[in-house]
Amino acid sequence: MNQISTGIGQPVSRIDGKAKVTGQARYAAEIHPPGMVYGFVVNSPIARGRIEAIHDEAARAVPGVVEIMTHRNRPHTALFEKSYMDGLGVPGQPYRPLHDEKVEFNGQPVAVVLAETFEAAREAAMLLEVDYQRWPHNADFEAAAYQKYMPSKTRSNYVPPKSRGDARAAYAFSPIKISGQYHLAPEHHNPMEMHATTVVRGDDGELTVWDKTQGPQAIQAYLASALSLRKGKVSVMNPYVGGAFGSGLRAQYNVFLAALGSLMLERSVRIMLTRPQMFTHVFRPEASMEIALAADTDGTLQSIIVDGVTDTSRFEHNMENIVPWGLINYKCPNATADYKVAPRDTYTSSDMRAPGAATGVNLFEMAIDEIAYACEMDPLAFRLHNYSDIDAMHDMKLTSKALREALAEGAERFGWAQRSMAPRSMREGRELIGWGMATGIWDAMFSPTSARATLTANGRLRISIAASDIGTGTYTILAQAASEAFSMPIDRIEIELGDSTLPECPTEGGSWTAASAGAAVWQACQSLRDDLLHALRKAHDAPGWSRKDGVILRDGELHAEDGAQTPLTLEAALRFAGKSVLEVEETAKPGLRGTISQMRKARFTHSAVFCEVRVDEELGIVRVTRLVNAVAAGRIVNPKTAASQVRGAMVMATGMALHEESLMDERVGRFMNHNFAEYHIPAHADIQEMEVLFVEEKDKEVSPLGIKGVGEIGMCGTAAAIANAIFHATGQRHRNLPITPGA
């Protein structure tokens, strides 16, 4: 089958772009069912305690207020804790909104005001008075670290890292060594679209829930379980998502409360969180890593020791893979790692873009830069000297690893060979210039996924799958997979996403959607093609050339291979076959159609990041003036959207390195800087030249189409490259992120 110009590998512009820029795309808070009421959440100002009294007289007197929902008058919900477990499966006791009078974190919802207008709901919420009994709490990370623990195996889904050799003995006897504590501040998701839910109640009592989520089927299952509803009584829609980055992996409290309010009033309900309320739920955990590295005088690593801690709530055990990355990526005979969580009286920390790796890879790559300088070796040369061709932690072969090529191509494009080794050796005027680099690694995952392909009577192809497009370009890349598999121009392909009733697809996250959903779409289209030709062969009035071995699909038409007959349109082909529509559903799984079992080899995406910074010597202000990221990610479906994904992650990583920091007021257990005035994210002036290169990497084993995801890899290593460049510019080593003026 011939590849056409809109197939895999082509830089196709986003097919949903026009809908977004013209306002035709509808998001969770832009659905307007008749008779809808507005909900406004009232949040607890204390970190731990119990509600003693709720004074709602003044709030109920506000014109337009319909009801005030609290733990005292809410509808019935499921009795058992396990019914509130969401798709992410975080161990522990799941949070149950408005369950009882107990307060477990600052910002916990204690009431929802339901009114005819948003303004009335907000005004009444400000008038609601709640009396609390305050209990002692701890929101300080350093204090919580004294209580760090690892949950028992029965309460944990965490797989501990695998040690090798005797790392502590090797460290003691090695001639060159470094050690230190590296720290990452907590970060909050700040997507353009804030979390919102609109619940549309049908005449039959069924709920159609429009939610900002990365997984409509996960939300459907959660609501049905937590609210004791038949699964068929609730469906979830999220055709457009204005960014999520992990905040939509879990069911946030707005969706539960909106559905609960709808059940209470038997009306449609909308709840949209404010920007400050976005700081009352999920965030990237604060982290500390004790890293010790040792090497011989020739720069050969002899010992890796990593001890990591991240924070979690007291009621759940959120764990991340922050410690194994160096053990995996570097050749070293002696390596060990340990990891624990520290309980705080906050909401549960959770996934944020490249969870675990964004923390662990960046902090470890900062330490690698330190040991390279201790060995008086160029940081790039040091990494190549200790390069591992296998997953060194598990002694396992890889499906592919083109990191060496990424290092070479990235270094050449950046001009690394012109770099002077000595810190503070490059300057221009009052600015010190620094060049730094780091490597990145992220899992290349694949999950069983289903897709439906439908050939309609007008000859158009419709692809249906319950995937989400969180701004990553999923609509476009799935259309490209279908375009190539069915040999049809992309403008004749319709993509249906973001609907829990569509064929099963895992929650979008972890960079697995392109590989998993793409494979499902490809297989469905291949099967549809086969079924069409089979139907034609069986038809009484089928054209004489409709034998499978003599017919090909090209540009949305059937052609005789010898070119002797006029092409047959797909509309005509369906008529000949006596079909008004033809439909196929397929499920892509590991091991299917030439893909090996995923357990035989390790699977990763890799990158090499090179950075230039300029530091004002007097003011300490850092400018990131150049970033080059060379990525090895298997087959690239769309180089335009893929490069956009990597650049977006590099922008976020710049925030991690220089800007983003959620500051806790330990006295009340609340993040103080809960707005864009005080929580700093990169602005246009902070982002200058960014270049993304994709290194050729053919991998027939990682997934059916040889695809690895790219959504997370840009986070892994970029912040470290910036930190390492700052050291090269200033000669001052920083072990805490973000690095701010005066640090």
Spacing of C-alpha 636 from chain mean position: 18
719, two tokens: 């912040």
Q: What is the DSSP letter of 503?
A: S
324, two tokens: 């194994």
For residues 606 and 439, what is the distance between their CA atoms, to the nearest angstrom?
A: 7
Using a 10 angstrom Cβ sphere, with 0-12 exposed, 13-18 middle and 19 or more buried, the burial of residue 422 is exposed
Residue 739, SS3 per DSSP:
coil
For residues 111 and 253, what is the distance between their CA atoms, to the nearest angstrom?
A: 12
What are φ and ψ of residue 151, in 5° steps? -55, 150
Q: Express each pLDDT in 524-575 by its tens digit.
A: 999 999 998 888 777 765 555 545 456 778 888 888 776 666 788 899 888 8
Residue 294, SS3 per DSSP:
strand
Catalytic, out of 104, 193, 661, 712:
712
* Whether residue 116 lies in the annotated active site: no
- Please give the pLDDT value at position 599: 57
Strands 301-313 and 335-344: parallel
Asked if residue 117 has pLDDT above 50, the reply is: yes
Q: Express each pLDDT in 345-377 by its tens digit.
A: 999 999 999 999 999 999 999 999 999 999 999
Q: What is the mean pLDDT of residues 122-131?
A: 98
Asked if residue 594 has pLDDT above 50, the reply is: no
- Please give the pLDDT value at position 186: 98
The answer to whether 48 touches 137, Cβ cutoff 8 Å, is yes
- Please give the pLDDT value at position 597: 43
How many CB atoms are located within 10 Å of the residue 40 CB? 24
What type of residue sits at position 129?
A: E
Q: Express each pLDDT in 698-718 by its tens digit.
A: 999 999 999 999 999 999 999
What type of residue sits at position 65?
A: V
Q: Express each pLDDT in 325-341 by its tens digit.
A: 999 999 999 999 999 99
- Please give the pLDDT value at position 333: 98
For residues 408 and 402, what is the distance between their CA atoms, to the nearest angstrom?
A: 10
Asked if residue 317 has pLDDT above 80, the reply is: yes
What does the DSSP assignment read for 28-95?
Answer: GGG---TT-EEEEEEE-SSSSEEEEEEE-HHHHTSTTEEEEE-TTTPPP--SSGGGG--TT--SB---
How many helices (H) and strands (E) the chain has is answered by 16, 31
- Tell me what percent of the residues of the chain surpass a pLDDT of 90: 88
**Nearest alpha-carbon partner for 577 in 545, 550, 543, 547:** 543
Q: How far is CA 680 from CA 248, 472, 537, 623, 724, in A?
A: 21, 23, 64, 15, 21
For 726-740, letters b (16+ CB in 10 Å) and e give: bbbbbeebbbbbbbe
What type of residue sits at position 526?
A: Q
369, two tokens: 């830069």
Q: How far is CA 210 from CA 113, 207, 335, in A?
A: 20, 10, 48
What are φ and ψ of residue 652, in 5° steps? -60, -40
208, two tokens: 């159609």
635: left (phi over 0), alpha (psi -120 to 50) or beta: beta
What type of residue sits at position 138?
A: N
Q: Express each pLDDT in 486-535 by its tens digit.
A: 999 999 999 999 999 999 999 999 889 999 999 999 999 999 999 988 88
542, two tokens: 């089928």
Asked if residue 608 has pLDDT above 80, the reply is: yes
Query: Quick one: CA dihedral 296, 297, 298, 304, positive or negative?
Result: positive
- Please give the pLDDT value at position 596: 40
For residues 193 and 191, what is the distance between their CA atoms, to the nearest angstrom?
A: 5
Asked if residue 601 has pLDDT above 80, the reply is: yes
- 156 pLDDT band (50/70/90 cuts)? confident
The answer to whether 367 touches 182, Cβ cutoff 8 Å, is yes
The answer to whether 253 touches 281, Cβ cutoff 8 Å, is yes
Asked if residue 153 has pLDDT above 80, the reply is: no
Q: Express each pLDDT in 444-495 by its tens digit.
A: 999 999 999 999 999 999 999 999 999 999 999 999 999 999 999 999 999 9
Task: Please work out, in degrees rounded to the nearest 5, the angle formed at the alpha carbon of residue 495 by the alpha carbons of 490 and 498.
Answer: 155
> Is pTM, for the whole model, over 0.75?
yes
**Nearest alpha-carbon partner for 624 in 486, 480, 738:** 738
The answer to whether 316 touches 91, Cβ cutoff 8 Å, is yes
Asked if residue 654 has pLDDT above 90, the reply is: yes
- Tell me the helix, strand and coil percentages in the chain, rounded to 5: 30, 25, 45
Q: How far is CA 515 from CA 64, 195, 512, 540, 695, in A?
A: 49, 27, 6, 40, 18
How many CB atoms are located within 10 Å of the residue 645 CB? 25
Q: What is the mean pLDDT of residues 180-203?
A: 97
Q: What is the mean pLDDT of residues 416-443?
A: 97
Residues in the chain, overall count: 743
Using a 10 angstrom Cβ sphere, with 0-12 exposed, 13-18 middle and 19 or more buried, the burial of residue 541 is exposed
Q: Express each pLDDT in 46-73 by its tens digit.
A: 999 999 999 999 999 999 999 999 999 9
Instruction: Name the maximum alpha-carbon separation found in the chain.
Output: 86
The answer to whether 300 touches 386, Cβ cutoff 8 Å, is yes
- Average pLDDT of the chain to the nearest whole number: 94
- Please give the pLDDT value at position 547: 52
Residue 605 pairs in a beta bridge with: 442
